[in-house]
Amino acid sequence: MAGLRGCFFLAAAVVLLSLALASSATDFDFFYHVQQWPGSYCNTKNGCCIPDGGNPPADFTLHGFWPQYAACRSALGIDDDDDGLLVVENAGELERKKKKKCWPEFCSTEKLSLAQISDLLVDMQLTWPTLSCTNKENLPFWSHEWEKHGTCSNLGQHTYFQLALQHQARYNLTAILAGAGIVPSGEATYYLSSIRDAIAEATGSAPNFACNRDESGEAQLLEVYQCLDLTGTRPVNCTLPKSGCTDKVKFPEV
């Protein structure tokens, strides 16, 4: 009887541990793997700033690796009202907060540790640099990506950054587009559908895009959104954000 009782308590402990682990995991549906084109980022009136003071890379660089929901979710389980906003009290003041959340964020207070990603830093300096003139250093940029998105990925720090780098290396977007005759140019414009088809054929899933405007007001390709499964290794089809792009876009030289 004592042996049976011991087995029962052991089984119960395993179940409780499993439930605790499950409750600590973040629930999401897929990752956005987002790369940006430096030529478009820098080709605006705001320009860009490179951490080492050099030239921006003539290749797509990583912006982020973001856990996402397949459909936006209602915050706190509260039903939508007419304007989609919730009135809450914060420090004695009423603030209107959006009820919808389309991704998890800031899932823990864990800070980025360079010691955990030390073997990745050379690659990250080259392929995941900040281009912002507001924040000219890489470390705050990487820390922001980890704290806002990485802490919700159910991955450790090393695995989180490594998977993002591996996908970028596996599917080099600059080479994929060049193979389809889509190359950076100061004059040419390209059909967005041609860019989408080239990437879809190479990766097995259709991407989406974000565009910005150059100083003359023409749309240019800024970011490529690719969807990856929950392991962060396999391209999948998923809900994609509105692109804000026109049918034809520029792909400016760096």
Catalytic positions, written as ranges: 63, 145, 149
Report the C-alpha gap between 170 and 172 in whole angstroms. Answer: 6
Q: Whose CA is closest to 101, among 83, 64, 76, 81?
A: 76
* Assigned token pair, 63: 């912006």
Cβ–Cβ < 8 Å for 66, 34: yes
Q: Whose CA is closest to 190, among 253, 250, 252?
A: 250
DSSP secondary structure letters along 145-188 = HHHHTGGGTTS-HHHHHHHHHHHHHHS-HHHHHHHTT----SS-
